[in-house]
């Protein structure tokens, strides 16, 4: 019971992270519309919808004003990454019929920026699925927690412990939110610069975007 109360104190912050991930995860839906892959709209929507629902549920859990311990923060970050892998695998499962275990592996490979794939033919995969995998690698590269903390307009010990629990030690700004925000800006600049350099080499825009997002 004590462990549940300890985790519940950090649940709203976890919920906020899932909400941000859910919003960003809607981006591949634009790709599906642009490339007229309308059959993938529902499979792709499964991930952001579940992220948002999870975020809303966690956000409703009552909390106390007690700051979570480092151990609770570590457990929370581990749960966030694990949940992202299980939810992030749904588009692969529903969209291209990969076995669910393979789909979870594919998502975990993306979020952790490992790069390994179980797709039989990456070149023949739909644009929507390819972009989803590139997006998970892009967000996972900077860190799921660091990516979302950057969008929070206030700093606290909870955010600091979540940030550090992701294995990060960067602290070149007065607080963790400012640090994450500056990292986020640098990350975008490097990504855009990477796209430009790949385009300059003669590769088309679609490939340049995916190459840069996965390479960064």
CB half-sphere exposure, 59, CA atoms < 13 A: 12
DSSP 131-172: HHHHHHHHHHHH-HHHHHHTT-S---HHHHHHHHHTT-----
- Mean pLDDT, the chain, integer: 82
pLDDT at 24 over 80: yes
CA distance 146 to 112: 13
Q: Is the C-alpha dihedral spanning 214, 140, 114, 27 positive or negative?
A: negative
Q: How confident is the model at residue 154 (pLDDT cuts 50, 70, 90)?
A: very low
The string of pLDDT tens digits covering residues 57-95 is 988 887 666 666 667 777 777 888 899 999 999 999 999
Length of the chain (residues): 216
Q: How confident is the model at residue 4 (pLDDT cuts 50, 70, 90)?
A: low
The string of pLDDT tens digits covering residues 85-144 is 999 999 999 999 999 999 999 999 999 888 788 888 887 899 999 999 999 999 888 776
pLDDT at 151 over 50: no
Higher pLDDT, 123 or 194: 194
The string of pLDDT tens digits covering residues 201-212 is 999 999 999 999
The string of pLDDT tens digits covering residues 177-190 is 666 677 788 889 99
In the prediction, which pLDDT does 185 show?
Answer: 83
> What is the DSSP secondary structure assignment for residue 115, as one 8-state letter?
-
* CA-to-CA dists, residue 178 to 15, 162, 184, 201, angstroms: 21, 15, 10, 35
Phi-psi region of 194 (alpha: psi -120 to 50; beta: other; left: phi over 0): alpha
Q: How far is CA 25 from the centre of its chain?
A: 8
């Amino acid at each position: 019971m004590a462990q549940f109360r300890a985790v519940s104190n950090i649940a709203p912050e976890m919920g906020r992270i899932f909400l941000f991930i859910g919003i960003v995860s809607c981006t591949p839906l634009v790709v599906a519309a642009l490339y007229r892959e309308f059959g993938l709209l529902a499979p792709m929507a499964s991930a952001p919808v579940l992220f948002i629902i999870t975020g809303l549920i966690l956000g409703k859990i009552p909390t106390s004003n007690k700051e979570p311990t480092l151990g609770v923060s570590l457990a929370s970050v581990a749960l966030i990454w694990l949940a992202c892998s299980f939810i992030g695998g749904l588009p692969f499962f529903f969209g291209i019929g990969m076995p669910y275990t393979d789909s979870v592996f594919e998502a975990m490979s993306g979020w952790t920026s490992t790069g390994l794939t179980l797709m039989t033919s990456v070149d023949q995969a739909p644009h929507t699925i390819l972009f989803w995998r590139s997006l998970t690698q892009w967000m996972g590269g900077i860190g799921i927690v660091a990516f979302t903390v950057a969008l929070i307009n206030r700093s606290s010990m909870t955010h600091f412990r979540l940030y550090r629990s992701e294995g990060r030690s960067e602290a070149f700004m007065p607080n963790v939110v400012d640090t994450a925000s500056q990292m986020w800006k640098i990350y975008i600049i490097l990504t855009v610069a990477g796209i430009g350099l790949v385009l300059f080499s003669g590769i088309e825009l679609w490939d340049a975007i995916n190459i840069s997002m996965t390479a960064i």
